[in-house]
């Protein structure tokens, strides 16, 4: 009998309609830095970070804790066996297109699979309530079945500016990531998004903005662009991939802003374009679960299987080995 192929991507999509174990995750690899002759990392980036949202995955959880690791400063608080499409499929996910990236030819222990845990706050897009023009000439309306999409209509001038959503006091304290999807009717660039917590000055701002003018992202008119970015202290950069190109974004935190302490005051989107429409949906703050690749369980032409762990602790020595992030200020 000949070999029977498995379309893992199609299988995962079908499972998502029948079981919560097949879900969308973000595949993340931190930037890899060059090393000197003594093996010490420099500030020179050899390979930029990989940030791939909406990856189909099957997560088979194993309830387990490892107290041996606790002696080293960490505790393994969970284990899972995670199934993904093969590496070629992953490298060619929409907007990533890294098929020719020879530095992304294998899975490493630095890689993190960011799972969606729970929604902390879903920003309403069903009406124009709370939305305001900011420095842009803009009007807003809820569109789609059940009001699933916000439409922002921009005038002829100015050609660059901001629009905002305000709902002071809303709880976003447990969130550590922000995600949304964008599409435009014409030429429109996404330049960044700022979260203001309990204040409107720069001191209260958590900013995720294009590192340079060349990093402004041209919003697609046909397909949706998914943005999935960190909302946590200790982060200095993030990435958005579109049509195989990485757009670098700088992450800044004001002197007074601290994740996990202050509630939302307002959101501020920075765009560039005129006489066009922006469509915005699935805008939410959420709590993530980060799975670090511990070992490869199976690896073939059709799918990959990883044994992954979740860890807690504060010992820096093995932070990179397990990919632990620190959400406390």
Reported as type and span, the H/E element at residue 123 is none
- Residue pair 211/250 in contact by the 8 Å Cβ criterion: yes
Of the pLDDT bands very low, low, confident and very high (cuts 50, 70, 90), residue 227 is very high
Q: What is the pLDDT of residue 145?
A: 53
- Residue pair 86/99 in contact by the 8 Å Cβ criterion: no
Architecture of the domain spanning 124-286: Sandwich (2.60)
Measured at the CA of 56, the angle between CA 106 and CA 102, to 5 degrees, comes to 20
pLDDT above 80 for 264: yes
Indicate the pairing of strand 245-253 with strand 237-242: antiparallel
pLDDT above 60 for 147: yes
Dist CA 176 CA 264 (whole Å) = 13
How many of the other CB atoms lie within 10 Å of CB of 75?
16
Q: What 3 state SS string does 81-118 have?
A: EEEEECHHHHHCCCCCCCCCCCCCCCCCCCCEEEEEEE
Q: Which residues contact 227 (CB under 8 A, 6 or more apart)?
A: 53, 178, 179, 180, 181, 182, 190, 193, 240
Q: What is the pLDDT of residue 321?
A: 45
Per-residue model confidence as pLDDT tens digits over 40-88: 777 788 888 889 898 889 888 776 655 555 555 566 778 889 999 888 8
Per-residue model confidence as pLDDT tens digits over 271-327: 999 999 999 999 999 999 888 888 888 888 888 999 888 876 554 444 444 444 433
Q: What is the pLDDT of residue 144?
A: 64
Dist CA 259 CA 278 (whole Å) = 29
């Amino acid at each position: 009998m000949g070999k029977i192929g498995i379309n893992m991507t199609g299988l995962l999509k079908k499972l998502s309609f029948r079981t919560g174990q097949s879900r969308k995750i973000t595949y993340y690899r931190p930037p890899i830095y060059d090393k000197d002759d003594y093996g010490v990392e420099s500030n020179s980036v050899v390979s930029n970070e990989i940030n791939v949202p909406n990856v189909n995955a099957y997560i088979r959880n194993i309830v387990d804790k490892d107290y041996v690791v606790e002696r080293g400063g960490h505790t393994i608080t969970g284990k899972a066996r995670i199934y993904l499409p093969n590496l070629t499929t992953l490298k060619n996910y929409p907007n990533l297109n890294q098929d020719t990236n020879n530095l992304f030819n294998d899975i490493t222990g630095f890689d993190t699979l960011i799972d969606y845990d729970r929604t902390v706050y879903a920003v309403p897009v069903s009406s124009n309530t709370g939305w305001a023009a900011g420095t842009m000439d803009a009007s807003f309306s809820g569109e789609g079945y059940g009001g699933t999409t916000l439409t922002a209509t921009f005038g002829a001038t100015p050609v660059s500016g901001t629009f905002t959503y305000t709902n002071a006091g809303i709880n976003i304290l447990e969130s550590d990531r922000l995600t949304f999807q964008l599409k435009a009717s014409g030429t429109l660039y996404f330049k960044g998004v700022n979260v203001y917590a309990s204040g409107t000055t720069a001191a209260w701002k958590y900013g995720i903005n294009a590192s340079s003018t060349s990093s402004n992202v041209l919003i697609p008119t046909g397909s949706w662009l998914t943005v999935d970015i960190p909302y946590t202290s200790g982060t200095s950069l993030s990435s958005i991939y579109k049509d195989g190109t990485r757009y670098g974004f700088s992450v800044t935190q004001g002197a007074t802003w601290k994740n996990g302490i202050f509630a939302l005051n307002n959101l501020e989107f920075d765009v560039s374009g005129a006489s066009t429409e922006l469509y915005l949906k699935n805008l939410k703050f959420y709590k993530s679960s980060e799975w670090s690749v511990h070992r490869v369980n199976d690896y073939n032409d059709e799918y990959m299987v990883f044994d992954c762990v979740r860890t807690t602790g504060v010992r820096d020595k093995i932070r990179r080995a397990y990919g632990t992030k620190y959400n406390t200020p």
